[in-house]
Structure 1
Amino acid sequence: MLWQFILTGVLALLAGVALGFFVARKYMMTYLKKNPPINEQMLKMMMMQMGQKPSQKKINQMMQAMNKQMK
């Protein structure tokens, strides 16, 4: 009887961990889609801080590369 209680507890714990992982993963993926970590203004500021004069073409290329890498 005791081993059934322990086995049930362990199985419930494993199921909870697995379910929590997938829920958290789904939440983070939707959050990152809605709020991308870097946008065009941030990229432009970073390039200017590095001493580069960013052109719109270069910014667009970098944004496309980052979006492709995210998918």
Structure 2
Amino acid sequence: MHEEIVNSVNEIDKTRKLYFEEEHLAKQARDKEEKIKKRKTGIFASFTSLQNKKERTSAHREASDIQSTQVM
């Protein structure tokens, strides 16, 4: 009985760590997306390049959000 409890606690701890790691990555992606949205184009930065970066970052953020909220 004691061994089952210890194994359950260890599994919960691993899952918690994984969740917080994925949530941290999702937050970083959201922050990066927000920064790109607010950034003004520089002299040498093309609008198309910034749009592509925004789309990639948005896709990464969405994937991270989905992954961090999935039930294991």
Q: TM-score, with normalisation over the residues of structure 2? A: 0.51
Which structure has the greater CA radius of gyration?
A: 1
RMSD, aligned CA? 2.3
Cα pair distance change 1:15/1:69, threshold 3 Å: closer
**Number of equivalent positions:** 55
Please list the CA deviations of residues 2-52 of structure 1 after superposition, one character each: whole Å capped at 9, or x if unmatched: 31232122112122123212321331122112212xx422xx3xxxxxxxx
Instruction: Structure 1 unaligned segments of length 5 or more: list them.
Output: 45-53
1:61 matched to 2:17:
no
Off by >2 Å, runs of 4+ in structure 1: 64-71
Counterpart CA distance in 2 for 1:67 and 1:30 is 11
Q: Larger relative CO (CA 8 A, sep 6+): 1 or 2?
A: 2
Instruction: Structure 2 unaligned segments of length 5 or more: list them.
Output: 60-72
User: What does 1:1-71 align with in structure 2 at a 5 Å threshold?
Assistant: 1-36=1-36, 39=39, 40-41=41-42, 44=43, 54=44, 59-70=46-57, 71=59
